Chains A and B, each alone.
Chain A
Amino acid sequence: MKLQLLSRWGCRLLLGAMAALLAVLGVTSAAADTKLTVYTALEAEELEPLRKAFRAEHPDIDINWVRDSTGIITAKMLAEIDAGNPQADVFLGTSATSLLVVDAKGMLLPYAPKGLDKLDSKFRDARNPPHWVGVDAYAAVVCYNTIESGKSNLPKPSSWQDLLDPVYKGHLVMPNPNSSGTGFLTVSSWIQIMGEDAAWAFMDAIHENMARYTHSGSKPCRLAAAGEHAIGISFVFRGAKLIKKGAPLELVLPKEGIGWEVEASGILKTSKKIEAAKTLIDWHISPAAMKVFNDYLPIIAIPELATPVAHFPENTLEMMIDNDFGWAADNRKRILGEWQKRYDAKSEPKG
């Protein structure tokens, strides 16, 4: 009897402890506010400052971020829409091309946020009311590791064509355009600069030099920064950040011009929290939000508020090509399919 009692008490104690632990964990994660589920491709370090700044003005609404690379978050969104079970309330800070793809499914709520008139016309959907609005622009860059390049005698490239030189064989990394927004805008810019046929010939050649294709647009620059590979095609923001952290990088803007994208946002028609979603969209083009975006990117939707960002090449704006988003959205599927067939299906690069 004594034994049974002991074991029974033991069990109760254990169950009690488990329940208490669960309760504690539950309390810390529970909040009484309206919770918006926001799908985004913004960089991870932007998310918490943005949420904090937003919460300071709207303490009754909280943001639940779901972040992934542009291609992946877009694919997730599309898959959930197809399954009739979309999870997001807002699609925020993702490439305008992706917004257009979701819009083509009729899923975006046309909405003119407060302060719309202050935005540069490049940063909004031309329709009235717009289906999407943009906050900033990000652009491709070549991250060049000076130390490792020195060791391997790799000259600093100045153009895209330079990267075809066989000396770079095995030293080059770029993002896979199927999963990464940076990858796609780079490929799309090559086609827009060179024309379709020349661009594919160029990609066939650069494929020979490629050490690997990565899932994310950040990773090539991070790999270059860590010296795993000497040169990574990535985007300026990541390069500038890594230089600030002490990476031995130089940022090269190839002279043919660089691809770029607007980071745009829209509200999902299926959201059950439309009012809160509108509040978020209103806020995210307000001067307060612009200030947060400007901490990372110098090119923002309200140009007169823009201040320079450390380590950003000064001529970034001039080097950006005349990007045709409509063309990119219409041809996205075809380009990605072709790329996939040519380069991803090859299991290993020759040599």
Chain B
Amino acid sequence: MNNVTVSNVAVSFSAPLRPRLGRDDFFQGGCLIGFSALVCAAIFLPLYAMLAKSFEDSDGNFLGFANYIEYFNTPSLVTSAQHTIIIGVLTTIIVVVLAFIYSYALTRSCMPFKGLFRGIAVIPILAPSLLPAISLVYLFGNQGMIKEVLLGHTIYGPIGIVIALAFWIFPHTVLILTTALSSADARLYEAAVALRTSKTRTFFTVTLPGAKYGVMSACFVAFTYAITDFGAPKVIGGWYNMLSVDIYKQVVGQWNFQMGAVVSVVLLFPVVISFVADRLVQRRQVAQISARSVPLEPKPNRRFDLVMLLYCVVISIILIGILGVAAYASFIKFWPYNLSLTFDNYQFDLMDGGGWKAYRNSIVMAIWTAGLGTLIIFTGAYFIEKSQRFNKFRSILQFIAVVPLAVPGMVLGLAYIFFFNPTKFTVPFTSIELANPFSFLYATMGILVICTIVHYYTVPHLTALTALKQMDREFEAVSASLKVPFYKTFARVTFPVCLPAIFDIAIYLFVNAMTTVSAVVFLWGPQTHLASVAVLNMDDQGDIAPAAAMAMMIVYTSAAVRIAYVFLTRGFQRKTQAWRRREVTTKSIAPSSVT
């Protein structure tokens, strides 16, 4: 046994210039190739199909730019492009300013209840974007509880869209900005104090530049979410058309797929520009924190802390209030004439949208997305990060994994119809017809799961990469030299160490699968109604109270899963992650090894 090992090592030493490709390398290479084939089928082919569709007439003949010319000659469609940009910019400014102050309070003040405020800020993530819009109708609609606040302006339009979007995007920007603001070098602030720099000047010369990249990132995220969201403008947009609603109207209202494809391509432009700009900015980012940095500890300042506390209380009341209105409205018998309470609005089987079965489907879909998605995303990230060879190939894949961030959910969903629905497709520039091997997926749960995983691919992928990067590559090198196959290392070391990240990924996917409307609105089929789409359909029929009820069911479910996760993993983490804390490890392991 020993002799064999030694001789093997000798062989590899004798030919150091061209290391032989081992079994692991072949396997990993195979996996990388398989993985990229999967990625192509799941992103690029559908997007190509959509692009092709935008140049065709309804019978599939090539038209050139005729559809685009028609688009730009239709005044209403061009107006919605302007509207989309206006809403995007407005929402971005408002939400980033609000979230910045909130994050500043969380990271730079000594106010109490920080954990609580952190938790409250995340609440909107648990709801579909339709929910704030529905609440706003109850608050500011023509029969709204506090419609006087709007001074006669109507909520159906840009005001409503911006408020609903700001609510829904707030948590995403807070998460980015707290991360950006929490890492700061105290030495800079000490220097500022020593130089008697005023507080305001310090803010503009130290704090803002330090958080610059975070702020920009938050802006790009907010802008992208605002212009691609569909739920809020659909419910509360009134006459104020936006591109995302136009796609829906063209496709679902008129079944004009070609024009839907054209609008999708138009919507892709600002998103891709924002995406590329973000990448360019982030590339220039240099480490703010060096080994010599001293982490900034906020010092108590009664007045400042009080102001920050008040601000956070106000924002929290608004966030909880909007959610609370939907929860309350879902129990009202007949708004606004009969305010007695009832469970009638939860009798989904008597209403549009697929009934309770839609809710069950959503849970099944979310479980599959979380399970399958975590598996694919984590192993994908593993091969990209830990494979020993194929560097160029891996960097291409690395780029591809970020692409879904730049594809709006509706555009992806529409692309999926074009790719998965036809029973046949023609090879480009030829007249060869091939049977579509994927068409069996049309209108199944499978297509919903695939689309949702792809749509939300990037963020979990980055989470997985970060977790994997924490682990030294020596693990792989050592196990390789010990002749331990890489999958054993994966199962025994990598996987357990990364478990917290894996759970994070699963929860992220679950919650998003429950709440997404835009990615699935074109893809559900006779057997696969979904809860989030049911909210949309019920609102479409004017059944707004049941729509609120179903939206709340989604919130309760995502919240329950998140809370259960926190409690379940608390004990679990203590066991698998004990090695992370030195002093605890020795204590907790000692007695258990005795028993």
Contact = CB atoms under 8 A, between A and B. Distances in A.
Contacts of A48: 349-350, 355
A191 B131 CA distance: 40
A7 B337 contact: no
Given A219-B541, A347-B76, A10 B422 contact: no
A152 B221 CA distance: 44
A37 B525 CA distance: 10
Contacts of B540: 69, 214-216, 219
A349 interface: yes
Contacts of A345: 74-76
A304 interface: no
B152 interface: no
B207 to A, nearest CB: 41
Interface string A70-91: 0110011011101111011000
B575 A7 contact: yes
B337 A227 contact: yes
B80 A3 contact: no
Contact of A44 (B141, B350, B572): B350
Contact of A68 (B156, B336, B360, B537): B537
Contact of B255 (A29, A79, A246): A79
B337 A25 contact: no
B12 to A, nearest CB: 29
A219 B542 contact: yes
Given A25-B364, A85-B423, A226 B578 contact: no
A189 interface: no
B76 A45 contact: no
B364 A22 contact: yes
A2 interface: yes
Contact of B543 (A25, A222, A349): A222
Contacts of B499: 7, 10
A233 B36 CA distance: 54
Nearest to A232: B542
Contacts of B527: 37, 64
Given A220-B542, A222-B544, 13 more contacts: A7-B499, A8-B491, A22-B364, A44-B353, A83-B422, A85-B421, A85-B423, A147-B337, A212-B238, A219-B542, A228-B143, A345-B76, A347-B76
Contacts of B142: 227-229
A75 B51 CA distance: 22
17 contacts: A3-B579, A7-B495, A10-B576, A29-B357, A44-B353, A75-B253, A75-B254, A178-B254, A214-B542, A215-B253, A215-B540, A216-B542, A222-B541, A226-B335, A246-B337, A248-B337, A347-B80
B349 A85 contact: no
B251 to A, nearest CB: 9
A220 B540 CA distance: 10
Given A3-B575, A7-B576, A75-B255, A223 B492 contact: no
A78 B257 CA distance: 12
A72 B253 contact: yes
B334 A347 contact: no
A16 B439 CA distance: 31
A4 interface: yes
B238 A3 contact: no
Interface core residue of B255, B439, B543 (most chain A CB under 10 Å): B255
Interface of B: 58, 74-76, 79-80, 137, 141-143, 156, 238-241, 252-255, 257, 333-338, 349-353, 355, 357, 360-361, 363-364, 367-368, 371, 421-424, 439, 442-443, 491-492, 495-496, 499, 525-527, 537, 540-544, 572, 575-576, 578-579, 589, 592-593
Interface in A39-84: 44-45, 48, 64, 66-69, 71-72, 75-76, 78-80, 82-84
Contact of A226 (B257, B336, B576, B593): B336
Given A3-B576, A178-B253, A247 B349 contact: no
Nearest to B571: A10
Contacts of B254: 75, 178, 340
A256 to B, nearest CB: 26
Contact of A28 (B252, B334, B353, B360): B360
A313 B526 CA distance: 36
A173 to B, nearest CB: 10
Given A214-B542, A246-B334, A72 B367 contact: no
B484 to A, nearest CB: 13
Interface string A211-252: 010111011111101111100000000000000011110000
Contact of B360 (A29, A223, A247): A29
Given A18-B367, A22-B364, A345-B75, A218 B349 contact: no
Contacts of B579: 3
Interface string A332-343: 000000001000
B424 A87 contact: no
Interface of A: 2-4, 6-8, 10-11, 18, 21-22, 25-26, 28-29, 37, 44-45, 48, 64, 66-69, 71-72, 75-76, 78-80, 82-85, 87-88, 147, 176, 178-179, 212, 214-216, 218-223, 225-229, 245-248, 340, 344-349
Contacts of B58: 82
Contacts of A11: 495
A85 B239 CA distance: 35
Contacts of A76: 255
Given A29-B360, A346-B76, A84 B526 contact: no
B75 A228 contact: no
Contact of A3 (B338, B496, B537): B496
A231 B353 CA distance: 26
B253 A2 contact: no
Nearest to B157: A348
B44 to A, nearest CB: 22
Given A45-B350, A66-B526, A214-B542, A72 B252 contact: yes
A155 to B, nearest CB: 20
A219 B538 CA distance: 10
Contact of B542 (A67, A75, A83, A223): A223
B543 A79 contact: no
A30 B32 CA distance: 37
Contacts of A87: 443, 525-526
Contacts of B351: 44-45
A178 B575 CA distance: 60
Contacts of A45: 350-351
B143 A83 contact: no
A242 to B, nearest CB: 9
B27 to A, nearest CB: 22
A176 B443 contact: no
A20 B297 CA distance: 47
B364 A4 contact: no
A25 B239 contact: no
Contacts of A6: 575-576
Contact of A4 (B75, B255, B496): B496
A84 B422 CA distance: 7
Interface core residue of A3, A84, A223 (most chain B CB under 10 Å): A3
Contact of A25 (B80, B360, B443): B360
B75 A347 contact: yes
Nearest to A216: B541
B467 to A, nearest CB: 14
**4 closest pairs, A vs B, by CB?**
A222-B542, A219-B542, A75-B255, A7-B496
Contacts of A67: 352
Given A45-B350, A218-B542, A222-B541, A22 B422 contact: no
A29 B357 CA distance: 8
Given A85-B423, A218-B542, A347 B576 contact: no
A227 B335 CA distance: 9
A2 B541 contact: no
A168 to B, nearest CB: 15
A84 B496 contact: no
A215 B53 CA distance: 26
A130 to B, nearest CB: 26
B162 to A, nearest CB: 17
Nearest to A67: B352
